[in-house]
Amino acid sequence: MKTATITTREQHLAKVQLYRWYQLYEKEINEKRISNQLEILADDIVMKSAAGEMKGKENYPERLKVYEGWKNAHHVENVNVTNSEKGLHLEADIRYQNIRPDGEKKSYTIHYNTLLNKDGKNLPKFSFIEIAPTGETTETFKDAYPENRTKSLMHYWLASMENLDGKVEPFVEMLADDFTLNFSTSSPIKSIKELETWLNGTPLQLKVSSHYPENFSVKTIMKNEYEVTVEFDWKGITKDNKQVKAKTKHIWYVVDNPNERFARILKADVSQIEPFEIIN
């Protein structure tokens, strides 16, 4: 496949969908959550796995019945996203663990080979998913839902920040009703209107914005509440072609309704590790 350059935004968008894919299997499967899952699949998706080949997303819900009563965990080890003529090509290596209704425990290493359609505006959709076991492991089951849930939120947040179009709409479903954003370079932001004003300020002085997450960790505070700690290595190019950089640490308090597309940020505290700097 011929490859082209890829933006960090495209990589974030593909990762949003990868991490969302695993979440359905890691909580109780219900109609609302199946509906959210179908939304990440192209109508003519082709899926290949040990369970056989499936064509067309209308056939997908039937495949889920086998997982009733299972506990599943998908620990993502490596993700690589490239641009191809057919869309975004995403490969991932994961460690998959399950506990079946009869108590039997299994764990495998698995390779994912996927393609996502992109239209430039919305989240891309999987058009092809190939799942191939690469080995068997012996591991203690560890819940992966908190990490997959909050990483999909993080990548959607970063992709939306990198849009640089001043539009606040994507953030609405990522923020709790009474949110507070304590950005290190502004007074606290506590409303969608204030966030819109901020998005139409400094970010619009940029023509490129790229975030590279590092040192991600998540801990469960209580049921459906998480604390996320992550550092963002940030690079940008201003509209007058100056290269700029900064590094920040984010601590997010996240609340989760598993039936929604995304968890929501209740509070974000941002501190500077390396302040904004012009490189050249």
Average pLDDT over residues 251-269: 98
Confidence of residue 121 (pLDDT cuts 50, 70, 90): confident
> Within 10 Å of residue 28's Cβ, how many Cβ atoms?
9
Which residue, 50, 112, 43, is CA-closest to 76? 112
Q: State which amino acid sits at residue 242.
A: K
Q: Hey, which residues does 247 pair with through a beta bridge?
A: 233, 274
Tell me the average pLDDT of the chain: 95
- What pLDDT digit, counting tens, does each position of 39-54 carry? 999 999 999 998 899 9
pTM: 0.96
Exposed, middle or buried: residue 250 (CB in 10 Å: 0-12, 13-18, 19+)?
Answer: buried
Burial pattern 212-230, b for ≥16 Cβ within 10 A else e, equals: ebeeeebeeeeeeebbbeb
Q: State which amino acid sits at residue 11.
A: Q
Distance CA(278)–CA(280), nearest Å, equals 6
Phi, psi of 230 (to 5 degrees): -155, 150
Query: What was the pLDDT predicted at 52?
Result: 92
- What pLDDT digit, counting tens, does each position of 178-220 carry? 999 999 777 999 999 999 999 999 899 999 999 999 999 999 9
Query: What was the pLDDT predicted at 186?
Result: 78
DSSP SS3 for 122 = coil
DSSP secondary structure letter of residue 188:
P
Which residue matches tokens 């299972």? Answer: 70
- What pLDDT digit, counting tens, does each position of 144-174 carry? 999 999 999 999 999 999 999 999 999 999 9
- What pLDDT digit, counting tens, does each position of 122-138 carry? 899 999 999 999 999 99
Which residue matches tokens 């700690």? Answer: 229
- pLDDT at residue 267 is higher than 50: yes
